[in-house]
Amino acid sequence: MLRLGREGRITVEQKRISDYGIRIGRIPKGERNKISDVPGVTVGHSTIRDDTHNTGVTVILPMEGNIFADKLVAASYVHNGFGKTAGTIQIDELGTLETPIALTNTLNVGMVSDAVVQYMIDRCAEDGIALASVNPVVGECNDAGLNAITDRAVTAVHVREAIAGASADFAEGNVGAGAGTQCYGLKGGIGSASRLVELDGKTYTLGVLVQSNYGSTADLMLDGKPSGKQISRWISEQECDKGSIMVILACDVPLTARQLRRVIKRCSVGIARLGSYIGHGSGEVFIGFSTANVIPRDAGEILQLSCIREDKINLLFRAAGEATEEAILNSMVCAEKVQAPNGKTVQSLKDFLEEDIL
């Protein structure tokens, strides 16, 4: 539901997993319980939905300024590489992020990459910044089950629309890059969550956004219960763990790229706690960035960066696992049921929760 909030802003109101009495973890949540609780982070969607298409693009803007000029520390981790992600090679080599992060469907990665490049060319031209090379970062999930994917319906216009509409209060569920995804045989989508951690008396924020499109129905664990086995009695179940999940992690904790990679690896804990065994046909790709350490374009030859003490990183590990688990569940309960082009209906997890079937 969309409502007009203070100062005339549109706010998003959706029932999320906590509204069904399910509490994930023990670390406090941020104000919105979204990745946008990290200051400066915004998210935008462009959704394509008609008789044959359920697809789109979701863009995460990591900061308010020009990220090409003032790069952020970043890392990536491929837990299972059945995917078509662009841009992670340079992230791993240099440890920095210099563009927004876009998510879309498998066959539109190239076009979305091109659109992100053009966006950065135009943005840098406006800001008077020379650009001769740029590393666009794009992730994907295969939404062919609910979308005529070979039509490659996503265009540069949709990427621009998602960027222009980015805000801290964004919709979840079957929107943007999550419009056509499925999770544990139910409707998947875009979901988010956040956690607050205290270090040296200061509160920091870690947030996660997922594009969920994986999992065997019978494997689903909900609130510690094997709910997937019960759901399997009511739907045409997804038998194989396939399809992929993209996880984007943001934080304002001072971290090196190496430390950030250690943290994003723990996103796999949240996936596993919901029952996935990380199947052959499912690509699990994680990308993370920290807004704490900025690499300015006019820096001198020596940079001074701050980072966490290694033996204090456990709290971030737990936060990453908790936020990922909750973000996946939010992606499912915020999604409405969808009818595929072949007539098949994919149910929403919320239908089972609201009918007290689980």
Give yes or no: 322 in active site: no
Among 113, 268, 282, 290, the active-site one is 282
Distance CA 131, CA 136 (A): 13
| Closest among 20, 16, 8 to 172, alpha carbons compared | 16
- Report the SS3 class of residue 229: helix
Cβ neighbours around 148 below 10 Å, total: 17
Q: Are 59 and 104 in contact (CB under 8 A)?
A: no
Give yes or no: 244 in active site: yes
On the CB side of 144, CA atoms within 13 Å amount to 9
Among 98, 140, 172, 284, the active-site one is 284
Distance CA 140, CA 246 (A): 7
Distance CA 218, CA 287 (A): 28
Distance CA 223, CA 205 (A): 24
Distance CA 130, CA 136 (A): 16
- Sequence-distant (≥ 6) Cβ neighbours of residue 155 within 8 angstroms: 111, 115
| Closest among 120, 83, 84, 124 to 100, alpha carbons compared | 120
At CA 69, angle to CA 66 and CA 72, rounded to 5? Answer: 85
On the CB side of 20, CA atoms within 13 Å amount to 24
72 has which bridge partners? 97, 294
Among 36, 46, 192, 244, the active-site one is 244
On the CB side of 57, CA atoms within 13 Å amount to 32
Distance CA 89, CA 75 (A): 10
Residue with tokens 């070979």: 150
Question: What amino acid positions are annotated as catalytic residues?
Answer: 244, 282, 284
